[in-house]
Amino acid sequence: MKIQKRIGILTGGGDCPGLNAVIRAVVKAGIHEYGMEFFGIEDGYEGLITRRVYPLDWNRVSGILTLGGTILGTSNRANPFRWPVKKSAGEIEFTDVSDQVVQYISELRLDMVVTIGGDGTLSIANGLSEKGVPVIGIPKTIDNDLFGTDITFGFDSALAVATEAIDRIHTTAMSHHRVMVIEVMGRYAGWLALSSGLAGGGDVILIPEIPYQLEKVYQLVETRSHRGRRFSIVVVAEGAKSDQGELVIDRVVKESTDPVRLGGIGRVIGEAIEVHTGLETRVTVLGHLQRGGTPTAFDRVLATRFGVKAIELCAQGTHGVMVGLKGNEIVTVPLREVAGRQRLVPLDHPLLQCARSTGVCLGE
C-alpha cells in the first residue's frame, strides 16, 4: 500500500544512544511500506525556527543503527514558544515564534512531524499539536522519567555505561580501601541511580524521591569499615536532595528549555563523608559519558519498534499522540497527558524493596 505523505523528523533535547536507530526505522519503514517522503529537521526545533530542513532518503539512514548521537543534530535551547533573542545590550529577550513555525511546516507541506525527545521536546510538540500541527512523539531520555511509557530508549544504554563504571571503580575502591562516590545523571528522577546502584553493588544509593540523612550514610560506611569491609560504594543521583530539601545546582542557563543544570552533589556528599568519618573518599562524576556511545541491543530494538509504530500511525492519519511501551506492548498515549508530567520512582517500587532487603542504605 503506497501512501504519498511528506514526513518531517526532528530530535530534540539531550542526545542519547538509539536516536539514529529511530530515525532509521521511521524512514525505512515509511519508504518500504508506504512510499513516503522524508525530511530531516536540523538541530531539533531550531531547524523549524531557522528554516534548516533537508531530504532524507534510504541511503542517508543506512548504516546508522549502531551509531550514538543523532545525524540530525539536536538542541535543548530551541523552544518556538520561548525563543531567545539577543538584544544590542547583550540581554536576552524571549519571543513566541510558534506561529512562524506552523507557517513553515505548512510551506513544507508536511503531513506529519515526528518528534523524538524527552519531556521538554514532547511538551513543545503538544503545544504545536494544539495549534493544528499533526505531531507524533517518540519518548527518548536516559533519565527514564517520561510519563506514559514503562521505559524510554536511551535508558538501558546509559544504565550499561553507569554500571560498567561502578564495576571499574569497585576494584580501585577495594585496593585503596576508600569510600568511592559516583554521581550519575537522572535529573529529578532516581531510575538511573537506583538501577545502576543495584546492578553495580552500591552500598549507598541516594535518589531524589527519598530525601537523604547524611547521618545514615556515615553510619553505613563506618559500620562496613569496622566489620573489615574497608571500602564503600556510594551512588548518588544528580537530583538527590537532603532532608532539608536542598538541591545542588551547577549553573543556570536562562535561554534553555530547562534552565537548571544539576551537578555537584557528589562532591558535597564526598567531602561530608570524609570530614565526618575520617575515611578517605574520592568522587567520580560520570556526566556525559552516560549519553554517548553505541546503543545496547535492547535500545536498538526498542527504538526500532517505536519508529515502526510511529510510521503506522502516520499512515493511519493518527496524530497528537506519543508511542510508548507498556509491558511488552507498544501503545499510544495522548501528548496532552504526557506534557508537563514526570515519571518518578514510586516509593513502593519493587526495586526499592530489593535495595532495602539486600542491606543497601537509601539515606532514610
Q: Name the band, by pLDDT with cuts 50, 70 and 90, for residue 84.
A: confident
> Is the pLDDT confidence value at 320 over 80?
yes
How far from chain centre, in Å, is Cα 222?
35
Domain with CATH 3.40.50.460 in the chain: 158-291
Q: Name the band, by pLDDT with cuts 50, 70 and 90, for residue 87.
A: confident
Closest CA to 106 of 138, 134, 82: 134
- The count of C-alpha atoms lying within 13 angstroms of the C-alpha of 37, restricted to the half-sphere facing its C-beta, is 9
Q: Name the band, by pLDDT with cuts 50, 70 and 90, for residue 85.
A: confident
What crossing angle do the helices spanning 191-199 and 350-357 adopt, rounded to 10°? 40
DSSP helix/strand/coil, 311: helix
As a whole number, mean pLDDT of residues 41-59 equals 97
* Per-residue model confidence (pLDDT) at position 255: 67
Closest CA to 205 of 232, 178, 170, 244: 232
As a whole number, mean pLDDT of residues 220-231 equals 89
What would the pLDDT profile of 182-194 be if each residue is shown by its tens digit? 999 999 999 999 9
Which of residues 291 and 23 earns the better pLDDT score?
23
DSSP helix/strand/coil, 217: helix
As a whole number, mean pLDDT of residues 228-250 equals 89
The verdict on whether 143 is a catalytic residue reads yes
Set 43, 111, 143, 145: catalytic member? 143
Burial class (CB in 10 A: 0-12, 13-18, 19+), 351: middle
> Cell numbers at residue 309, please?
509504530
| Geometric angle at alpha carbon 136, from 333 and 255, rounded to 5° | 100
CATH topology of domain 158-291: Rossmann fold (3.40.50)
* Per-residue model confidence (pLDDT) at position 175: 85
> Is the pLDDT confidence value at 11 over 90?
yes
Q: Which residues touch 228 (CB under 8 Å, ≥6 apart)?
A: none
Q: Name the band, by pLDDT with cuts 50, 70 and 90, for residue 260.
A: confident
Domain with CATH 3.40.50.450 in the chain: 6-153+295-338
Q: Average the pLDDT over each of 92-96, 111-115, 212-216, 318-322 and give the range with the smallest value.
A: 92-96
* Per-residue model confidence (pLDDT) at position 190: 97
| Geometric angle at alpha carbon 59, from 75 and 152, rounded to 5° | 45
CATH topology of domain 6-153+295-338: Rossmann fold (3.40.50)
> Cell numbers at residue 15, please?
542526545
As a whole number, mean pLDDT of residues 250-257 equals 71
